[in-house]
Amino acid sequence: MPQPEHTTRTVLVTGGSRGIGRAITERFVAAGHRVAATHRSGDVPAGALPVRCEITDPEQVEAAFATVEAELGPVEVLVANAGITRDTLLLRMSEQDFADVVETNLTASFRLAKRASKAMMRARFGRMVFLSSVVGQLGSAGQVNYAASKSGLVGLARSITRELGSRGITANVVAPGFIDTDMTARLSEQQVADYQARIPAGRLGAVEDVAATVEFLAGDGAGYVSGAIIPVDGGLGMGH
């Protein structure tokens, strides 16, 4: 079997069962890395270690890391991908809608990053990639909770960069635009058409578009990229 031309890493992807996380997992597996992917329901791509984990539960996150460490070694690349929406207008948004989205998208990312940072500091190497969204910078009517959680990831990644940058650890944010997945499948045809008209690329993004960028950030060539927001949005968010 031909040897990969890059360093192989131990990678943990959250939400590897569907959508963007599944594509990221497949890409890292295909590149020859040791990959673990979390899931709650469903399966994870062939070649990845399936790890059951509800990321809002600190004990399950701890257990997931322990499993990955035992099976594949310390996590060198963390992809905090799992996320949810609970869209509604501000006046109708409940405390629970807000709290649930912040807990899953932001607080759990903090939890994962904190746990991953221990071994990364020891190894003096680490790559953290947080899946944000174009709406984290643009804002979005009906997504006060989601946009707040996604822009929060920028402060999180940039603070990690300042704290841990000198230890060979990078922390970056990937900000997808409109990507064709289950999360966007619930939009009406009219909403999809409206979005598409605003995207300079003239098409919705594919999960592979996002996965390729995440792979770059984890790769040998991206060691000097940190605290960045990398848009993968066909130009939708330009200027932000």
Partners of 80 in the beta sheet? 130
Residue range at the interface with ligand NDP (CB under 6 A); choices 36-44, 64-72, 118-126, 156-164: 36-44
Side by side, the strands of the sheet bearing 34-39 are 49-52, 34-39, 10-13, 77-80, 126-131, 169-176, 229-232
- Considering beta carbons, is residue 125 or 178 the nearer one to ligand NDP? 178
- Which residue in the set 184, 192, 196, 201 belongs to the binding site for ligand NDP (CB under 6 A)? 184
- Which residue in the set 45, 126, 152, 176 belongs to the binding site for ligand NDP (CB under 6 A)? 176
| 59 near ligand NDP, rule: CB under 6 A | no
User: Is 146 noted as a catalytic residue in this protein?
Assistant: yes
- CB crowding 59-96: b at 16 or more within 10 Å, else e: ebbeebbebbeeebebbbbbbbbbbebbbeeeeebeee
Partners of 229 in the beta sheet? 173
Q: Is the dihedral of CA 159, 160, 164, 166 positive or negative?
A: negative
| 40 near ligand NDP, rule: CB under 6 A | yes
CA distance 17 to 113: 20
CA distance 129 to 77: 8
- Which residue in the set 31, 121, 183, 225 belongs to the binding site for ligand NDP (CB under 6 A)? 183
Partners of 50 in the beta sheet? 37
| 20 near ligand NDP, rule: CB under 6 A | yes
Residues numbered 87 to 106 that lie near ligand NDP (CB under 6 A) are 104
| 5 near ligand NDP, rule: CB under 6 A | no
| 139 near ligand NDP, rule: CB under 6 A | no
Q: Which amino acid is at 234?
A: G
Query: Which of 65, 130, 146, 178 is flagged as catalytic?
Result: 146
- Count of residues that bind ligand NDP according to CB under 6 A: 30
| 82 near ligand NDP, rule: CB under 6 A | yes
Residue range at the interface with ligand NDP (CB under 6 A); choices 51-59, 61-69, 71-79, 164-172: 51-59
Q: Which of 123, 221, 227, 119 is nearest to 165 (CA)?
A: 227
Residue range at the interface with ligand NDP (CB under 6 A); choices 62-70, 75-83, 110-118, 189-197: 75-83
Q: Measured between alpha carbons, how far apart are the two ends of the chain, in Å?
A: 44
| 133 near ligand NDP, rule: CB under 6 A | yes
Residues designated catalytic: 146
- Binding region for ligand NDP (CB under 6 A): 14-15, 17-21, 38-42, 53-56, 81-84, 104, 131, 133, 176, 178-179, 181-184
